[in-house]
Structure 1
Amino acid sequence: MKKEMIQVENLSKRYKLGTIGTGTLSHDLNGWWRRIRKQEDSFHNAGERILPAARGEYIWSLKEINFSVNQGEVFGVIGKNGAGKSTLLRIMSGITKPTTGAIRLGGRVASLLEVGTGFHPELTGRENVFLNGAILGMSKAEITRKFDEIIDFSGVKRYIDTPVKRYSSGMYVRLAFAVSAHLEPEILIVDEVLAVGDAEFQQKCLGKMKDVAFNHGRTILFVSHNIAAIKQLCSKAVLMEQGLQKAVGPVSDILEIYQAKPTDLFAGKRGDIPGNLPAYFTDWKLEGLHLTDYHSCYSRDNCTFSFGLWVQEYLQNCEVRMTIRYEGETLVVYASSMDNSGSKFSFLPGFYRVRFSFLLPVKQGSYHVEVGVLSLNKLLDSWASGTPLHVLDNYESHLSGALLKPETRFSIEEAIVEESITS
């Protein structure tokens, strides 16, 4: 019988919304006494509406989560943005404590939650490798034995004696993952941070995770919006929604439940608008084609994919990415605004249409469209539309759905809000 490496029992996490305090004890006591007497708080601005959250409303980020993971398993955590996935991983990594419940871990834990986690920016790559190994409880001799293998996998050998504060986000992720995967923790926790890396490195990481789990008996907790990666790696998974555990079991069953959820409106409109995010997508459509359907094209058409994007605050160092998957699994197209020597850009608050244009030489079939926006290398919104792209047969193409890297052109402009979006 395999050993249970992770046990999560009735795990819950509660946060308090609104103002925690005024800054001084006397002001806090004065405000409390006025609220008891149903008087206006003198420390609020005149005419300011006091929302319920400002009076101490609580929100449950996680509520009664239960599952276990055996040694050598790759366990997937699935859910939309705001489902509680990152909170769960932060509790498991020891970054924050649960409100109720408990987590029992059967070994050393290495976490890869965001770019630069566990790295000291002033230290070199070499020094950070030894620092991370020491944190995991490894001796200097153990780390030295693995050092060359770590550097070869990361591909940053030339810069290993450079302070990591001068690394790009991709170099950060390469080295961080190499350290976590090679320093032999019993439990490896991986969040969506791999989305920062390029497609080739992502495949390399997936292969390494499969190797350390199946051939070395380590346990991996893997969070991803990439359904193909979840299906490829994981044997079991948990589906989360708004902090609740909706289902747990074999990954094929969980993915069937997840993909059957009605998350979008018809005709490319988004059904679950996440209005609390700094930026979010609202819709997608094809432009410039002589078709009555805005979500169909012919094989080998030159396609322009247009996405509506609401930006609610000033954002800098932004990047937009899109993927197209055949039947929701095989990655066919990966495109980025950084392609063809593109550079990162800033957004002012407003509504925009962002566009990708490229030749689409794929066979007839149904394809799933996903788009994401990043700022300062942090994923702000990722939307997998429920409206598929239908590619019609023009009897010219015999290509199967396979990975493509087409030459793309990216453009952006501030747009007038369409009435159908706000209705």
Structure 2
Amino acid sequence: MLLVSRLLLSKVWLAVACLIVVTSCEVRGQTITSDDTARVLAGMAPQPGSPLAALTQDPGWRRHAAFFDNAFNQLEQRQLSKIRTWTDTNAAAPRPTMFYFFSGPDFLYADAFAPKATTYVMAALEPTGPIPDLGRLPRGSIGPALAYVERSLQSILSFSFFITKNMKVDLREGEIEGALPILYVFLARTGKTIHSASLIWLDDNGVVHAANEPPARNATKGARIVFAGADGVEKTLYYFSTDLSDSGVKASGFLRFCEPLAPGNSLLKSASYLLHESSFSQVRSWLLKNSATIVQDDSGIPLASYDARAWRFFPFGRYAGPIDKFPGMYQMSYARLFERAQPLEFGIGYRWRTRESNVLLSVRSPAADATISAEATGPAETAPPPRARRAPRAPEPIPVYPPPPRRDEFFLLPRW
């Protein structure tokens, strides 16, 4: 009898042990989703039952979560909520696509300025990095890994922009690297749910390829993130690590990729005045041709590059000139334009204090394109004889427009 009892007990223990092994294997075999990864990086609890839930018990993660809760709450009150209010009032006819060049991984402000876009195209020099995988972190390393994330975000949380030279170091250090972890944090903190994330590359013709395909010699590497907001509408974020100078875009298919998505609404912020330089003429011309609206600070496209016949300008805030780091970038025409600017309730750009910031909303009139084209070519029968020469036309002054129109006036603009 005793022997039978022992045999039965051993079988019970064996069954329990097998159950434990199977359960353990199932837990280890669970897929760690990109959304749960984003939430943990952002200091937010993952979904119930997530394999990453154990990381939230680490004291380093709890400190990180408290830090981000406070930082993002302050940012929401100080800037983001005010930007969304400004956008809702002044950009009432959004396009499906938002172009944000020289962006770094700054989805935070892309979302604030274009919350209704369904496709976001961001481009900068910062490396994409691998798909974040917190399941591979060594035991006890979550604290130091999250410290990297915090350090990478210090400047944008405080001043609204990334410091490029710091990012060259920050995005290549630690267990978590590249722009993707930062994009994950911003997506999670803006209430988005990530459905999928993948690495991609573009060939010379702008065709998208999966990362597992052998890349071409001049491949433009990037990432594609599919996500949804609270309304459930599925959206796509593209981030490309690419050189936007003339030599860079000539050697890549980036602008060819963008063309089918145009026209879009464009954002230029803290762009190092690169679009003022002749070596960035192709991207400058492309944006002017393929943007329905452009929201920028003075570090974006110089006012002299706009054709005043095709654009209407609506200035907000105060133009105080460039900071000392960018001497020689003062624009007299910009100063004249801002003499009648509307108030701005938030800070943005290099002059991030509210009373020093400027935002220019430029709205393109599609009807003007035909007029400008006709003036450029002219009807054949009225063209002057070959020897006749027209006197050069004096440059037109940059107009100062009245306050922005009512919301419904934007809907009167022709839709492309």
Per the shorter chain, which TM-score range? Answer: under 0.3
Larger radius of gyration: 2
TM-score by length of 1: 0.26
TM-score by length of 2: 0.26
Instruction: Give the structure with the higher percent strand.
Output: 1
Instruction: Give the structure with the higher percent helix.
Output: 2
